[in-house]
Structure 1
Amino acid sequence: MGSAVLLNGIRGHASDVDGPVVVIALLLLLAGFVAISSASIDYALVRESNALHYSNRHLIYVALALFCAAVVYSVPVKFWFDTGWIWLFVSLILLSLVLVPHIGRGANGSQRWLAIGPLTLQVSEFAKMFLIIYLAGYLQRRQVEVRSEWSGFIKPMAVVFAMTLLLMAEPDFGATVVTVGTAFGMLFLAGVRVGHFMAVALASMFALVILVISEPYRLARLLAYRNPWEYQFDSGYQLTQSLIAFGRGEWFGVGLGNSIQKLFYLPEAHTDFVFSIWAEETGLFGTTLILSLYLMLVLRILWISRRVAALGDLFGAFVCQGVALVLSAQVFINIGVATGLLPTKGLTLPLISYGGSSLMACCCMLALVLRIDHHHRRGEGVTHGR
């Protein structure tokens, strides 16, 4: 049903749509549905008295995400170029509303969600996309200034700093890292001077270190990350259980549905640590398959970026680069956390993790990439005026 919604929203001939991006995205969505259904079945049975509760909700999220993607795909690229500053303004307003008592919703010590009718949206997921659109337009308009003047670099970083303050007030350290990293990556690829880049990058890294050591719970996670087995019944509990899941998976896994760690050893295994259950049930073969799909998706998006840049559309190229950076960062952080490569931090695995906001944002970003590619396949020219 979800794929039919997407296909009905796509205009033009099938040859105008980049098949590899669509196929890889749908395969990841399918893998996510299978992984979440398996990881959540016992948890849902105990908590909701319905073994398929989270599976059904996730399927609804997938359908809604594909519908949103179809809407984004139907919008001309020039619209996003002309309105980038509006979407940035919208994202800052929404991130501010999240912090207002009785408007924003909190959970587990964080206030990150807005209730819109029956939906609860995590605003930071959409703020990443809006920032990419704004930065892509800015980098296209201010190419010379960005590459030669301090002001061209500092202006967008001031915007990123404002967004970072709002994200840390929630607090959402994971989204902050992804947002800052994506902005730096886009500016670097746009040709900013290395000296300017390194100066601000080092200052930002120093600020992140201060943020980590200034909060006891973040410091505890860092200590647990260094030696999780020393804190296996405290702050290192999730990580040690995740590592056990990876160890049990071996080469080909214990089989779909046969995970032991999902039986309340790994807390809420269908959320941020769903990849651990997938690893346990499918082994090295299954994890390599998912990583290969992500690699192919990112490389394909970068290929589209390079192609549209060669056609003179820098805005489209920068958008594609930003989407590739966001997806790469989230995959690296989520899997890095699950495998003990990085300190524990809640961050969704694109197109796989449970949650409507993440699915909708990821599908919308991919739809924007597809629309940019479609724009040039039909020979409509660059997306901006000269």
Structure 2
Amino acid sequence: MKRPLPMPPNHVDPLLAGASLGLVVIGAVVVGSASISLADRDIGEPLYYLLRHLGAVGIGCAGAFIVAAVPTDVWYRLNGFVLLACVVLLVLVLVPGLGQTVNGSARWLGLGPVRFQASEPARLLLLTYVASYAVRHQADLLTSFWGFLKPMFIVALVCALLLAEPDFGAAVVVTLTSLGILFVAGARLRDFVLALIIAASAFGALAVNSAYRLERLTAFLNPWSDPFASGFQLTQSLIAIGRGEWFGVGLGEGVQKLFYLPEAHTDFVFAVLTEELGFVGASFVVLLFAFIVYRAMAMGQQAIREGMEFQGLLSTGIGLMLGIQALINIGVNTGLLPTKGLTLPLVSYGRSSTVVTLVALGMLMRVHRELSAVQQVTAKRRPKQ
């Protein structure tokens, strides 16, 4: 692996930073609008969720600055510790007394007054490990099915721990992101397709064999058949999206968030956003996500061409993770996918997700700085025409 050369300390990607800032600002505005009535009714403090969301943004920005100052080679060399931390987090959340159950899922760890969702940092840690594995064992990955299968065993272990919580959506994101990293790293197409078929079959069997997941699946296929029970969330989301039309009903003027739409400030914040800002506002948010994913993937390819394989795969993995999660959340809100319980990164209220997403973007900023430094040196070494 080629190590990055020294770089200017303030070299950042202004377009990536601008798109990220745009989502943070939109998220704060929409979380405030979606949660104000709920917070006033349940807690007596209208700005309760907004202030906590802004606190998470502050912590996440601090984490992003710290991570952006750490050479990516550190994460590469600490790959064993990274994997251990991922597994330990997911095991601890299942330990009685340590893990905390919310809405029937044991996804939370409490450290004194601080509570966080363990699967969020675990996902980032796992993709970092998979990227390092693909670089360290590239020869095996290119030539043998066993080289492809070994990291997938680890991914399967992580998915089993996630499903034990249960967190089906996170398991899907982890699997697809890991497969994407290995494919970009050069895994053979037949190995990739076979693993994809096995993963799809396994998740399909889990969905059919669980009464809870099967109910969600059937509700997604025809929510109007039972609009006041199993299809309630989706029908209310579709009503909100339909009311938005082209330009929305106006910021703060949405109706569905007023105790009609469950989880209005978390899982279904995109529906609230569309109702109040319309198709134009929703499309702008989608474009911001698309640009971040494109920028991360393009940066990944540039890094790989410069011999920075780990940085390239890390950037690719972060882009895939954010893109897949955003796609699933928007798909759920619009009725294209069954409910998964995933937040919309940087936009939904979800402090663990917000902090980890900003830290991941800090990693992207670091990759950009290191890539720029290498490209500058490469340009200087080119013979003048």
Tell me the TM-score normalised to structure 1 length.
0.94
Which range is displaced more, 367-376 or 222-231? 367-376
- Which one of the candidate residues 137, 158, 162 is aligned to 1:167? 162
**Residue aligning to 1:42:** 37
Tell me the TM-score normalised to structure 2 length.
0.94
8 A Cα contact 1:221 1:344, kept in partner: yes
Q: Which runs of 5+ in 2 are unaligned?
A: 1-6, 379-385
C-alpha deviation, 1:268, in angstroms: 2.8
Aligned pair 1:73/2:68, yes or no? yes
C-alpha deviation, 1:300, in angstroms: 1.0
Q: What are the superposed Cα offsets for residues 216-271 of structure 1, whole Å, 9 maximum, x if unpaired?
A: 11100111011000011111100000000000000000000000001100013111
**Residue aligning to 1:287:** 282
**1:138-177 alignment, distance < 5 Å:** 138-177=133-172
- Which one of the candidate residues 194, 197, 210 is aligned to 2:192? 197
C-alpha deviation, 1:377, in angstroms: 2.0
User: What amino acid sits opposite 2:327 in the alignment?
Assistant: F
Aligned pair 1:106/2:101, yes or no? yes
User: What amino acid sits opposite 1:65 in the alignment?
Assistant: G
Q: What are the superposed Cα offsets for residues 129-164 of structure 1, whole Å, 9 maximum, x if unpaired?
A: 111111111111111210111111011001001101
8 A Cα contact 2:306 2:374, kept in partner: no
The aligned length equals 371
User: What amino acid sits opposite 1:74 in the alignment?
Assistant: A
8 A Cα contact 1:212 1:219, kept in partner: yes
In the alignment, the residues of structure 2 paired with residue 275 and residue 318 of structure 1 have an alpha-carbon distance, to the nearest angstrom, of 29
C-alpha deviation, 1:194, in angstroms: 1.6
**Residue aligning to 1:225:** 220
**Residue aligning to 2:337:** 342
Q: Which secondary structure does the structure 2 equivalent of 1:89 belong to?
A: helix
8 A Cα contact 1:251 1:283, kept in partner: yes
**Residue aligning to 2:382:** none
In the alignment, the residues of structure 1 paired with residue 170 and residue 361 of structure 2 have an alpha-carbon distance, to the nearest angstrom, of 19
C-alpha deviation, 1:292, in angstroms: 0.7
User: What amino acid sits opposite 1:362 in the alignment?
Assistant: T
Q: Which secondary structure does the structure 2 equivalent of 1:253 belong to?
A: coil
**Residue aligning to 1:358:** 353
In the alignment, the residues of structure 2 paired with residue 189 and residue 175 of structure 1 have an alpha-carbon distance, to the nearest angstrom, of 21
In the alignment, the residues of structure 1 paired with residue 112 and residue 231 of structure 2 have an alpha-carbon distance, to the nearest angstrom, of 37
User: What amino acid sits opposite 1:55 in the alignment?
Assistant: L
In the alignment, the residues of structure 2 paired with residue 378 and residue 115 of structure 1 have an alpha-carbon distance, to the nearest angstrom, of 41
C-alpha deviation, 1:117, in angstroms: 2.6
Q: Which secondary structure does the structure 2 equivalent of 1:320 belong to?
A: helix
Q: Which secondary structure does the structure 2 equivalent of 1:271 belong to?
A: coil
8 A Cα contact 1:43 1:268, kept in partner: no
RMSD: 1.4
**Residue aligning to 2:57:** 62
8 A Cα contact 1:272 1:347, kept in partner: yes
- Which one of the candidate residues 306, 315, 339 is aligned to 1:311? 306
User: Percent identity of the aligned residues?
Assistant: 43
In the alignment, the residues of structure 2 paired with residue 201 and residue 277 of structure 1 have an alpha-carbon distance, to the nearest angstrom, of 34
C-alpha deviation, 1:379, in angstroms: 3.5
Greater than 4 Å deviation, 4+ residue runs: none
8 A Cα contact 1:351 1:359, kept in partner: yes
In the alignment, the residues of structure 2 paired with residue 214 and residue 271 of structure 1 have an alpha-carbon distance, to the nearest angstrom, of 27
In the alignment, the residues of structure 2 paired with residue 267 and residue 124 of structure 1 have an alpha-carbon distance, to the nearest angstrom, of 23
User: What amino acid sits opposite 1:145 in the alignment?
Assistant: D
User: What amino acid sits opposite 2:363 in the alignment?
Assistant: L
**Residue aligning to 1:183:** 178
**Residue aligning to 1:82:** 77
8 A Cα contact 1:279 1:286, kept in partner: yes
C-alpha deviation, 1:376, in angstroms: 2.6
Q: What are the superposed Cα offsets for residues 276-316 of structure 1, whole Å, 9 maximum, x if unpaired?
A: 00000000010010011111111111121121111110000
C-alpha deviation, 1:200, in angstroms: 2.0
**Residue aligning to 2:201:** 206
8 A Cα contact 2:246 2:280, kept in partner: yes
C-alpha deviation, 1:32, in angstroms: 0.1
- Which one of the candidate residues 358, 373, 379 is aligned to 1:378? 373
**Residue aligning to 1:6:** none
